Amino acid sequence: MENKQKQKKVVKHKKFKWIIAFEFLILFLLIGAVLLYQMKGNDQGLKEDNKAGQENQDIEEKDKELEKLTTQEREALKEQERLQKEAKEREDLIIQADKLTLSYDYDGAIELIQSYQGSEGGYEIYPILVSAIERYKKEKESLVLYGGSYTSVTQINHIFFHSLIADNSKAFDSDYDSVGYNMYMTTVTEFKNMMQKMYEDGYVLVSMYDVAEQVTLEDGTTKFVPGKIYLPEGKKPFVLSQDDVNYYDYMDGDGFASRIVLDENGKPTCEMILEDGSRVTGPFDIVPILDAFVEEHPDFSYKGAKGTLAITGYEGALGYRTDDPTSPTYEEDKEMVRKVAEALKANGWDFASHSWGHKNMQAASMTLFKNDTDRWMEEVGSLLGPTDIYIFPFGIDIETTIGEYSSEKYHYLKEKGFNYFCGVFKDPWMHIKDNYVRMTRRPLDGQAMLEFPERLADLFDVPSIIDPERPAKNW
């Protein structure tokens, strides 16, 4: 009996121990879960603390190692680190120069390398830099004038567009202005197709200032001369421009961008207003589309050239209504135009006057012509910065002569600083005179594609680039 009682006590004691152990296990698991939750919640902070702690530990260990070195050994180590840093600077400089050569700017690449100054002296004592310059010179020697495709700058195409249609369903909705959009506008799809095809066919963007440049003669006078554009064999330089980069009120709700803005990186992009009034940014017009294409294909641009943006003034500039001093955002809008214009110019874009009121300047009286020019200079030119390019409204030249300009209107524009004058024609045409440059542009719009496709045959096969959503000819 006594033994049975002892056995029962032993069993109870064992059960008690197991119960205690189990409770401890549950408690341990609960504490572990709480700690795990806290660790997850503070994981990022712990990682940062650990990283900072490791960095501090590394510094401390490095300091301890340095303390073990003699003064001479410390100086040798310091010199080694300096040499490694300078070697890395030279490697980075070559990478930067190589990027310039992708857009055929070999002179810029060579100048960049030659500007290097190391602790031992100039670029010429560093074999890696001398070798890079020799490579650039050799590659430059392989280039040919105008890519060998033309014998004169007068053969270079200057193509132009208006604002691109970003939403076909809104532009081609059969309302009163859809016919005009079909005639004079190009869609985003068509523009992308055109640029891709031209790139594949060896075309390269150049600036109007590359085509003809003003030089100073020995006697101090100036004159315009054909530009020397050297490209790889088979390449074909061309100029691009866009008219009416103003985003007029009549375009609201019709599938166009509303203005040019700066993105989070300070790069130009476009804003569009949706039906609910919300605003989104993206590649809704030529500037951001072409910028992205050139970034992906730097060999599509000669020395970073993009195009010329022709601006009027009667509804502001670049989508900002800077024509209305009573607007509550008047000063803010003017400042934004300045900032956007600077970003555009830094990114390879040029500006042109398209007149203030977009009138037929050949038919305009001299009084109207002067007032219009002065107003553009005051309201628009003051925001965009200096320009010497004038793109005629409707493509109508101020003179019908094919000889020398001589009219009062020409002399007034010269007085205001304009040197480059652009009209419209179906083929390339250009005059380079001592005092000015006159160049025609080819429209790549709906009318050209639907009514005169044969005029574009030298650039591309129209059926292969036309937007399938574009309506048939309806005018």
Selection from 367, 465, 459, 361 nearest residue 418 by Cα? 361
Instruction: Indicate the helix (H) or strand (E) that contains 281.
Output: strand 279-282
Q: What is the structure's pLDDT at 131?
A: 97
CA 301 to centroid of chain Cα atoms = 11
Selection from 340, 351, 105, 335 nearest residue 230 by Cα? 105
Identify whether the C-beta of residue 349 lies closer than 8 Å to the C-beta of residue 318.
no
Selection from 182, 180, 196, 185 nearest residue 161 by Cα? 185
Which CATH class for the 146-465 domain?
alpha beta
Q: What is the structure's pLDDT at 29?
A: 56
Q: Is 45 exposed, middle or buried (0-12, 13-18, 19+ CB in 10 A)?
A: exposed
Identify whether the C-beta of residue 90 lies closer than 8 Å to the C-beta of residue 118.
yes
Instruction: Give the residues of the chain that fall short of pLDDT 70.
Output: 1-67, 69, 74
pLDDT digits (tens, 9 = 90+) for 167-195: 999 999 999 999 999 999 999 999 999 99
* The two structure tokens encoding residue 92: 């980075």
Cα 258 from Cα 205, distance rounded (Å): 26
The residues pairing with 215 across neighbouring beta strands, listed in sequence order, are 223
Map tokens 């280039």 to a residue: 143
Q: What is the structure's pLDDT at 30?
A: 56
Q: What is the structure's pLDDT at 290?
A: 98
